[in-house]
């Protein structure tokens, strides 16, 4: 299992304990994950700050945040201001000073960030069917590329965009929906100029926040093709849902959900709603999974591609 997906799988335990109010145990696992996954330092550090704050250990929370920032970390000011876990820290001079520094670092990162696109070509002859695969929040195109490489083995050209919107050091998000829609649709247009793509066989796919963006791109008709593949989509899928269902009627979609994903039931309802509104969708359900990819993702991709490529 790729390192990024292993981190996501293991982080489910932190979230489950947090939701159950077992903050000390959640903190213990967060500390353990921080040691095991140093590349995810920004994420695990923020978890530790939140959990320390939640348990009344204000001085330790501030110290943990300061040490993380000394290592070069920063976070968007929106969650720092909005997160109820951090309310004991909000307004304290030390915390507010660090938030200001986070804002400064983020602005510098935004100015320096540029959209990227990783492309892999199959061994078959063109024109190629195409899969555009979108990374989840807090990751990169390079991190998620190995997960989607089976698409190339299945004969598809693979394009993996990276957001130009940094969420923390070395981690990117699709928080600004309008900006994300414009970026990916523009990269798609540029891709068509330089490659022989079968535009009748284009699939937009993604994981988590990237999956929600994939649904938006297809149902808003920003990218034409066969449909979307959404693996454990994030909240953004709900943005203007009634509107995009109207514009997206006639499209096809394929959902892959984990039964232990906390959003499973609401996503299953969205799947049913789309079918009722003329968006033909299939649901692949994995009761044992959390917010993660199936272990045999290649088989899931093959099933999804078969469904999406079947004429309506």
CATH number for the domain harbouring residue 65: 1.25.40
Percent of the chain's residues with pLDDT above 90: 81
CATH number for the domain harbouring residue 283: 3.40.50.1820
Spatial separation of the C-alpha atoms in residues 208 and 87, rounded to whole Å: 27
Are 98 and 167 within one domain? no
Res 4: pLDDT? 58
Final residue in a domain of this structure, among 65, 91, 112: 112
Mean predicted confidence (pLDDT) in 138-151: 95
Residue 13 has φ and ψ, to the nearest 5°, of: -65, -40
Report whether pLDDT(8) > 80. no
Choose between 9 and 128: higher pLDDT: 128
Res 5: pLDDT? 67
- For the stretch 48-73, pLDDT in tens is 999 999 999 999 999 999 999 999 99
Are 98 and 161 within one domain? no
Are 90 and 130 within one domain? no
Are 73 and 140 within one domain? no
Spatial separation of the C-alpha atoms in residues 18 and 27, rounded to whole Å: 9
Final residue in a domain of this structure, among 65, 93, 112: 112
Q: Determine the structural domain holding residue 53 and report its residue range.
A: 3-112
Report whether pLDDT(211) > 70. yes
Q: Coil, helix or strand for 54?
A: helix
Mean predicted confidence (pLDDT) in 217-233: 94
Final residue in a domain of this structure, among 78, 112, 146: 112
Choose between 12 and 233: higher pLDDT: 233
Q: Which sign does the torsion angle of CA 82, 83, 88, 92 carry?
A: negative
Spatial separation of the C-alpha atoms in residues 210 and 184, rounded to whole Å: 11
For 68-81, b/e burial (b = at least 16 CB within 10 A) is bbeeebbbbeeebe
**Position 2 confidence tier, pLDDT thresholds 50, 70, 90:** very low
Are 92 and 214 within one domain? no
Are 107 and 198 within one domain? no
Q: Which of 117, 95, 105 is nearest to 71 (CA)?
A: 105
Mean predicted confidence (pLDDT) in 184-188: 98
- For the stretch 261-288, pLDDT in tens is 989 999 999 999 999 999 999 999 999 9
Res 78: pLDDT? 83
Spatial separation of the C-alpha atoms in residues 194 and 175, rounded to whole Å: 29
Are 108 and 213 within one domain? no
Are 182 and 250 within one domain? yes
Mean predicted confidence (pLDDT) in 93-107: 96
Maximum CA extent, the chain: 62
| Domain count across the chain | 2
């Amino acid at each position: 299992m790729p390192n990024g997906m292993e981190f996501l799988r293991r982080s489910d335990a932190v979230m489950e304990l947090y939701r159950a109010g077992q903050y000390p145990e959640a903190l213990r696992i967060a500390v353990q994950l921080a040691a095991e996954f140093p590349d995810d330092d920004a994420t695990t550090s923020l978890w530790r700050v939140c959990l320390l704050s939640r348990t009344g250990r204000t001085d330790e929370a501030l110290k943990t945040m300061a040490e993380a920032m000394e290592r070069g970390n920063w976070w968007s000011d929106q969650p720092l201001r909005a997160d109820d876990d951090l309310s004991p820290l909000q307004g304290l001079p030390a915390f507010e000073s660090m938030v200001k520094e986070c804002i400064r670092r983020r602005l510098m990162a935004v100015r320096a960030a540029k959209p990227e696109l990783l492309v892999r070509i199959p061994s078959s002859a063109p024109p190629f069917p195409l899969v555009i695969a979108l990374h989840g929040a807090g990751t990169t195109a390079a991190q998620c590329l190995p997960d989607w490489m089976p698409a190339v083995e299945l004969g598809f050209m693979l394009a993996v965009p990276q957001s130009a919107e940094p969420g923390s050091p070395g981690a990117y998000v699709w928080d600004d929906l309008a900006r994300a829609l414009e970026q990916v649709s523009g990269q798609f247009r540029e891709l068509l100029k330089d490659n022989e793509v079968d535009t009748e066989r284009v699939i937009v796919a993604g994981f988590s926040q990237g999956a929600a963006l994939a649904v938006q791109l297809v149902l808003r008709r920003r990218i034409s093709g066969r449909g979307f593949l959404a693996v454990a989509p994030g909240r953004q899928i709900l943005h203007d849902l009634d509107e995009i269902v109207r514009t997206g009627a006639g499209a096809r979609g394929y959902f892959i959900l984990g039964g232990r994903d906390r959003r499973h039931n609401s996503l299953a309802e969205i799947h049913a709603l789309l079918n009722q509104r003329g968006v033909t969708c299939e649901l692949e359900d994995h009761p044992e999974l959390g917010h993660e990819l199936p272990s045999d993702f290649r088989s899931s991709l093959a099933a999804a591609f078969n469904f999406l490529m079947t004429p309506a």
